Homo-oligomer: A and B are copies of this chain.
Amino acid sequence: VKRVLLSGATGFVGRCALERLRHAEVELHAVCRKRPKNPAPDVVWHEADLLNRQDIARVVEAAGADELLHLAWYAEPGAFWTSAHNMDWVASSLLLVRAFHERGGRRVVVSGTCAEYEWSQPTCVESATPLVPATLYGVAKDALRRILEAYAKQFGLSFGWGRIFFLYGPAEDPRRFVSSVISNLLVGRRTPTTAGTQLRDFMHVDDVAGGLVALLRSEVTGAVNIASGEAVRLKQVVDAVATRIGRHDLLDIGALPLRPNDPEVLLADVARLQLEVGFRPTRTLSQGLNETVAWWETRQLGDPR
> For residue A91, which residues in chain B have a CB less than 8 angstroms away from its CB?
90-92, 94-95
Instruction: Write out, one digit per residue, whether chain A residues 50-82 have a CB within 8 A of any chain B CB (1) or not (0).
Output: 001100000000000000000000000000001
Chain B contacts of A140 at CB under 8 A? 147, 150
Count chain A residues whose beta carbon lies closer than 8 angstroms to a beta carbon of B.
Answer: 30
Residues of the B chain whose Cβ atoms lie less than 8 Å from the Cβ of A98 = 84, 87-88
Query: Which residues of the partner chain B approach A155 to less than 8 Å between Cβ atoms?
Result: 84
Number of copies: 2
Asked if B84 and A88 make an inter-chain contact with CB atoms under 8 angstroms apart, the answer reads no
- What 0/1 readout, one digit per residue, does chain A (128-139) give for beta carbons within 8 Å of chain B? 000001011001
> Does residue A305 face the partner (Cβ distance < 8 Å to B)?
no
Q: Are B147 and A146 in contact (CB under 8 A)?
A: no
A154 part of interface (Cβ distance < 8 Å):
yes
Assess the A95–B84 pair: CB atoms within 8 A: no
- CB-CB under 8 A from A207, the residues of chain B are none
Do B88 and A154 touch across chains, with their CB atoms under 8 A apart?
Answer: no
A84 and B151 contact, Cβ closer than 8 Å, known pairs A94-B90, A95-B91: yes
Interface residue? A142 (CB, 8 A)? yes
Nearest-CB residue, chain B, relative to A153 = B136
The minimal Cβ–Cβ distance linking A283 to chain B, given in whole angstroms, is: 35
Assembled-state Cα–Cα distance A86/B91 (Å): 12
Task: Enumerate chain A interface residues (CB-CB to B < 8 A).
Answer: 52-53, 82, 84, 86-88, 90-92, 94-95, 97-98, 102, 133, 135-136, 139-140, 142-144, 146-147, 149-151, 154-155
